[in-house]
A and B are shown apart, each in its own frame.
Chain A
Amino acid sequence: MANYLAQFQSIKSSCDHLVISVEDVSDLWHIVKSGFEERLPFKRACLNNKTRNLVYVESLPAEFILTTDIRLRSRFPQELSLFWFREPYATVVLVTCEDLDEFKTILKPRLKLIVQNDEREYFIVFVSKAQPNNDQATKLAKKIYAKLEVDFNSKKRERCCKLDIHGPDANFWEDLDSKIMESIRNTLDRRVQFYEDEIRKLSEQRFMPVWNFCNFFILKESLAFMFEMTHLHEDSLREYDELELCYLETVNATGMKRRDFGGLERGDDQAALVKPDYKPLSQIVQDDSFREFEFRQYLFACQSKLLLKLDRPVEVASRGYSFIISFSKALALHENTLPFCMREVWVITACLALINVTTSHYNDGVLAPDVEKEFYRLQGDLYSLSRVKLMRLAYLIGYGMDIERSPVNSAALSMLPWPKPAVWPSFPPDASNEVLAKEKKILQANTRPKHFGIHRKPLPLEPSLLLREANRRRASLSAGNMFELSPSFAEGLSLDALRTPPPNKIPASSMSRTNSSPGNFEGSLDRPMRISEIHVAAEHALQHTISDPDLWKCLSSVQNFEQKYLDLTKGAADNYHHSWWKRHGVVLDGEIAAVYHKHGNFDLAAKSYEKVCALYSGEGWQDLLAEVLPNLAECQKILNDEAGYLSSCVKLLSLDKGLFLTKERQSFQSEVVRLAHSEMKHPVPLDVSSLITFSGNPGPPLELCDGDPGTLSVTVWSGFPDDITLESLSLTLAATYSADEGVKAITRSTATILNPGKNNIFLALPPQKPGSYVLGVLTGQIGNLRFRSHSFSKGGPADTDDFMSYEKPTRPILKVFKPRPLVDLNAAISSALLMNEPQWIGIIVRPIYYSLKGAVLHIDTGPGLKIVDTHVIEIESYTKVLQTSTQNTVDDRNSVSAATKEFTQLTLNDGKIQLPDWANETTSVLWFPVLASDKRLARGTSSVAPQKQSIVDGMRTIALKLEFGISHNQTFERTVAVHFTDPFHVSTRVADKCKDGALLLQVTLHSQVKATLTILDTWLDLQPGFVHTGHDDGRPSSSILPLIISPSSRAGILFGIRLGSATTGDEAEALEQGSILNIKYAISGNRTIGAHAPVDGESSASEGNELGLLFRSALVLQRPVLDPCLSVGFLPLPSGGLKVGQLISMRWRVERLKDLEEHAVSPDNDEVLYEVNANSENWMLAGRKKGHISLPIKQGSRIVISIICVPLVAGYVHPPQFKLPKVDEANISCNPAGPHLVCVLPPTLSSSFCIPS
Chain B
Amino acid sequence: MVGREVSESCVDSMIIEMVSSYCDRFCSAKPELAARRIEAIGYQVGLQLSERYTMERPRFSDHLEAIKFICKDFWSELFKKQIDNLKTNHRGTFVLQDNRFRWLTRMSIDPSETNANTSDDPSVATTESKSAQSASMHLYFPCGIIRGALTNLGIPCAVSADMSNLPACSFVVRIKA
User: Does A804 have its Cβ within 8 Å of any Cβ on chain B?
Assistant: yes
CB distance from B47 to the nearest CB of A (A): 9
Residues of B contacting A804 in the complex (Cβ-Cβ under 8 angstroms): 40-41, 43-44
Is B33's CB under 8 angstroms from A805's CB?
no
Give the CA-CA distance A805 to B41 in the complex, in Å: 8
Is B33's CB under 8 angstroms from A809's CB?
yes
Interface flags for A794-814 (1: CB within 8 Å of B; 0: not) read 000000010011000100000
User: Does B37 have its Cβ within 8 Å of any Cβ on chain A?
Assistant: yes
Give the CA-CA distance A944 to B39 in the complex, in Å: 87
User: Does B63 have its Cβ within 8 Å of any Cβ on chain A?
Assistant: no
User: How extensive is the interface on chain B, given as a class?
Assistant: under 10
Interface centre among A801, A804, A809 (most CB of B within 10 A): A804
Residues of A contacting B41 in the complex (Cβ-Cβ under 8 angstroms): 801, 804
Give the CA-CA distance A805 to B37 in the complex, in Å: 8
Residues of A contacting B40 in the complex (Cβ-Cβ under 8 angstroms): 801, 804-805
Residue of A nearest to B33 (CB): A809
User: Does B36 have its Cβ within 8 Å of any Cβ on chain A?
Assistant: yes
Give the CA-CA distance A804 to B37 in the complex, in Å: 9
Interface flags for B9-50 (1: CB within 8 Å of A; 0: not) read 000000000000000000000000100110111011000000
Residue of A nearest to B40 (CB): A804
Give the CA-CA distance A804 to B41 in the complex, in Å: 7
Interface flags for B55-83 (1: CB within 8 Å of A; 0: not) read 00000000000000000000000000000
CB distance from A436 to the nearest CB of B (A): 63
Interface size for A (C-beta < 8 A) is 4
Give the CA-CA distance A487 to B65 in the complex, in Å: 62
Give the CA-CA distance A804 to B36 in the complex, in Å: 10
Residues of A contacting B37 in the complex (Cβ-Cβ under 8 angstroms): 801
CB distance from B98 to the nearest CB of A (A): 23
Residues of A contacting B43 in the complex (Cβ-Cβ under 8 angstroms): 804-805
Residues of B contacting A805 in the complex (Cβ-Cβ under 8 angstroms): 36, 39-40, 43
Residue of A nearest to B156 (CB): A806
Interface flags for B107-139 (1: CB within 8 Å of A; 0: not) read 000000000000000000000000000000000
Give the CA-CA distance A801 to B33 in the complex, in Å: 11
Residues of B contacting A809 in the complex (Cβ-Cβ under 8 angstroms): 33, 36
Residue of A nearest to B32 (CB): A809
CB distance from A696 to the nearest CB of B (A): 15
Residue of B nearest to A801 (CB): B40
Residues of A contacting B44 in the complex (Cβ-Cβ under 8 angstroms): 804
Residues of A contacting B33 in the complex (Cβ-Cβ under 8 angstroms): 809
Give the CA-CA distance A804 to B147 in the complex, in Å: 11
Give the CA-CA distance A804 to B151 in the complex, in Å: 12
Tell me the residues in window 804-846 of chain A with beta carbons closer than 8 Å to chain B beta carbons.
804-805, 809
CB distance from A800 to the nearest CB of B (A): 9
Give the CA-CA distance A804 to B38 in the complex, in Å: 10
Give the CA-CA distance A809 to B36 in the complex, in Å: 9
CB distance from B149 to the nearest CB of A (A): 14
Give the CA-CA distance A805 to B33 in the complex, in Å: 12
Give the CA-CA distance A804 to B148 in the complex, in Å: 9
Residue of B nearest to A807 (CB): B36
CB distance from A805 to the nearest CB of B (A): 4
CB distance from A507 to the nearest CB of B (A): 64
Residues of A contacting B36 in the complex (Cβ-Cβ under 8 angstroms): 801, 805, 809
CB distance from B148 to the nearest CB of A (A): 9
Give the CA-CA distance A588 to B111 in the complex, in Å: 67
CB distance from A737 to the nearest CB of B (A): 15
CB distance from A779 to the nearest CB of B (A): 29
Tell me the residues in window 771-806 of chain A with beta carbons closer than 8 Å to chain B beta carbons.
801, 804-805
Residue of A nearest to B151 (CB): A806
Residues of B contacting A801 in the complex (Cβ-Cβ under 8 angstroms): 36-37, 40-41
Give the CA-CA distance A801 to B43 in the complex, in Å: 10
Give the CA-CA distance A945 to B94 in the complex, in Å: 93
CB distance from A958 to the nearest CB of B (A): 44
Give the CA-CA distance A668 to B36 in the complex, in Å: 41
Give the CA-CA distance A805 to B144 in the complex, in Å: 9
Interface flags for A907-921 (1: CB within 8 Å of B; 0: not) read 000000000000000
Give the CA-CA distance A828 to B36 in the complex, in Å: 52
Interface flags for A703-722 (1: CB within 8 Å of B; 0: not) read 00000000000000000000
Give the CA-CA distance A809 to B41 in the complex, in Å: 14
Give the CA-CA distance A293 to B33 in the complex, in Å: 76
Give the CA-CA distance A805 to B36 in the complex, in Å: 8
Interface flags for A509-528 (1: CB within 8 Å of B; 0: not) read 00000000000000000000
Give the CA-CA distance A403 to B36 in the complex, in Å: 56
CB distance from A802 to the nearest CB of B (A): 9
CB distance from B126 to the nearest CB of A (A): 23
Interface centre among B36, B37, B40 (most CB of A within 10 A): B40
Give the CA-CA distance A804 to B46 in the complex, in Å: 11
CB distance from B153 to the nearest CB of A (A): 15
Give the CA-CA distance A790 to B148 in the complex, in Å: 27
Residue of B nearest to A809 (CB): B36
Residue of A nearest to B42 (CB): A804
CB distance from A812 to the nearest CB of B (A): 11
CB distance from A813 to the nearest CB of B (A): 15
Give the CA-CA distance A370 to B41 in the complex, in Å: 44
Give the CA-CA distance A805 to B39 in the complex, in Å: 8
Give the CA-CA distance A809 to B37 in the complex, in Å: 10
Give the CA-CA distance A801 to B144 in the complex, in Å: 13
Residue of B nearest to A805 (CB): B40
Residue of B nearest to A802 (CB): B40
Give the CA-CA distance A774 to B44 in the complex, in Å: 26
Residue of B nearest to A811 (CB): B33
Give the CA-CA distance A801 to B41 in the complex, in Å: 8
Residue of B nearest to A700 (CB): B29
CB distance from B44 to the nearest CB of A (A): 5
Residue of A nearest to B44 (CB): A804
Residue of A nearest to B41 (CB): A804
CB distance from B38 to the nearest CB of A (A): 10
Give the CA-CA distance A289 to B8 in the complex, in Å: 76
Give the CA-CA distance A805 to B158 in the complex, in Å: 12
CB distance from B118 to the nearest CB of A (A): 15
Give the CA-CA distance A809 to B33 in the complex, in Å: 9
Interface flags for A547-589 (1: CB within 8 Å of B; 0: not) read 0000000000000000000000000000000000000000000
Give the CA-CA distance A805 to B148 in the complex, in Å: 9
Give the CA-CA distance A754 to B31 in the complex, in Å: 37
CB distance from A490 to the nearest CB of B (A): 46
Give the CA-CA distance A809 to B39 in the complex, in Å: 13
CB distance from A661 to the nearest CB of B (A): 36
CB distance from B51 to the nearest CB of A (A): 15
Give the CA-CA distance A596 to B153 in the complex, in Å: 44
CB distance from B29 to the nearest CB of A (A): 10
CB distance from A703 to the nearest CB of B (A): 14
Give the CA-CA distance A696 to B138 in the complex, in Å: 30
Give the CA-CA distance A805 to B43 in the complex, in Å: 7
Give the CA-CA distance A801 to B40 in the complex, in Å: 6
CB distance from A806 to the nearest CB of B (A): 8
Give the CA-CA distance A383 to B76 in the complex, in Å: 53
CB distance from A260 to the nearest CB of B (A): 51
Give the CA-CA distance A55 to B40 in the complex, in Å: 68
CB distance from B160 to the nearest CB of A (A): 14
CB distance from B5 to the nearest CB of A (A): 25
Residues of A contacting B39 in the complex (Cβ-Cβ under 8 angstroms): 805
CB distance from B139 to the nearest CB of A (A): 16
CB distance from A815 to the nearest CB of B (A): 13
Interface centre among B36, B39, B41 (most CB of A within 10 A): B36
Give the CA-CA distance A809 to B35 in the complex, in Å: 12
Give the CA-CA distance A805 to B145 in the complex, in Å: 11
Give the CA-CA distance A804 to B140 in the complex, in Å: 14
CB distance from B169 to the nearest CB of A (A): 22
Which A residues have a C-beta under 8 Å from some C-beta of B? 801, 804-805, 809
Q: Can you list 6 residue pairs at the A/B interface with Cβ under 8 Å?
A: A801-B37, A804-B43, A805-B39, A805-B43, A809-B33, A809-B36
What 5 A-B pairs have minimum CB-CB distances, sorted nearest first?
A804-B40, A805-B40, A801-B40, A804-B44, A804-B43
Q: A805-B40, A809-B36 are in contact. List 5 more A-B contacts (CB 8 A).
A: A801-B36, A801-B40, A801-B41, A804-B43, A804-B44
